[in-house]
Homo-oligomer: A and B are copies of this chain.
Amino acid sequence: MKLIFEKTELVRAVNTVQKAVSVRTTMEILQCILIDAKGSSIFFAGNDLDLGIQTGVTGEIVEKGAVALNAKTFSELVKKLPEDQITFEVNENNLCHLTCDKKSFEIPGLSADEFSYLPEIEKENSVTLSQNALKDIINQTIFSLSVNDVNVMMTGELFEIKEGNLKVVALDSHRISIRNIPVDEKDRNIKVVIPGKSLKEISGILESDTEKEVHIYFSERHVLFEFDDTRVVSRLLEGNYFNVNQMISNDHATQIVLNRKQLIDSIDILMVLIQESDKRPVIMDIKDNVMDIYVKTGKGYGIESVDIKKTGADIKIGFNPKFIIEALKVIEDEEVTISFVNPKSPCFIKDDEDTYLYLILPVNFTED
């Protein structure tokens, strides 16, 4: 095999597929990037068996072939090569010869036959949205997932398509994050749970400033994201997702409207007084048109009075400040509405249009 690349294209391709290369494995082939130029075009791929990424690569095919190369070595080399043409030759023993300007490298590779190519996904059930919108909707929910929970379903996000709406849900045992977005698929109902790890990597390669489309295809065990010249296939989580609707109520005893950024700032500085270990809550003391938000710990006491518009009863309620901040940070509205039932029940941050809903459980507290 002999290929010729420009450095920038090589760096883009390696950065893209590397996100699906396993870092913690003893199986050498899982640490590899596939370089395939067996046909009339070149593609690179990474596949850790949970997630596979494949991307077309612009380059000249002087001689066809394929090889699997250690991803770490290959990507580090490629990034440090000068901005120049890179010649890539592989012999029958899978030894890869890389040359660029006066630099020359020989890297041992593995046979491409050992590599697990991405599974083919039938392109039947699909929705299309902008890369932009998909990236947003992932980032606006993914922080609520459990990373290593005994309950596997808490490590994935529900993607539910029904009546022209895509609903994305992420939850752990303290909170639920929901986003809704209209999509073109009106006839079919689709309901899958996609591993959070896959979504995180996909979000990392989606462009944020583009209206370019991404097509999502669903099969029984996999989901395929197709955009630009890139295909991402993720395994789905198997099992029943939580009945989220039953956890959400529209009743409330108190509702406040307030400036989102100001609330973030207020909570953010109060968190200075909270140590990881003591897990003291931030307390919201809500009265007419003013909310005292405060915290008291061994480090000190901090308080701020925040202007609010209130309807309903007074309430004093405590929260893990991290959960409130994380939800507020992914909302774009200038003002947010928060609804409360009582100090033992979750609060809801949601908009009138049902674009987003963030449910957060309160924390019990005693005051001295």
Contact = CB atoms under 8 A, between A and B. Distances in A.
Interface in A10-38: none
Interface string A285-315: 0000000000000011111111000000000
Given A73-B273, A77-B272, A302 B103 contact: yes
A107 B70 contact: no
Given A76-B272, A272-B77, A272-B80, A266 B103 contact: yes
A182 interface: no
Interface in A258-275: 265-266, 268-269, 272-273
A81 B269 contact: yes
A119 interface: no
Contact of A102 (B73, B81, B108, B304): B304
A80 B304 contact: no
A104 B302 contact: yes
Interface residues of A, number: 28
Given A70-B299, A268-B80, A299-B70, A304 B103 contact: yes
Contacts of A272: 73, 76-77, 80
A94 to B, nearest CB: 12
Given A70-B299, A73-B299, A304 B104 contact: yes
Given A102-B305, A103-B269, A104-B302, 12 more contacts: A73-B273, A73-B299, A77-B269, A77-B272, A80-B269, A102-B306, A103-B266, A103-B302, A103-B303, A105-B273, A106-B302, A107-B300
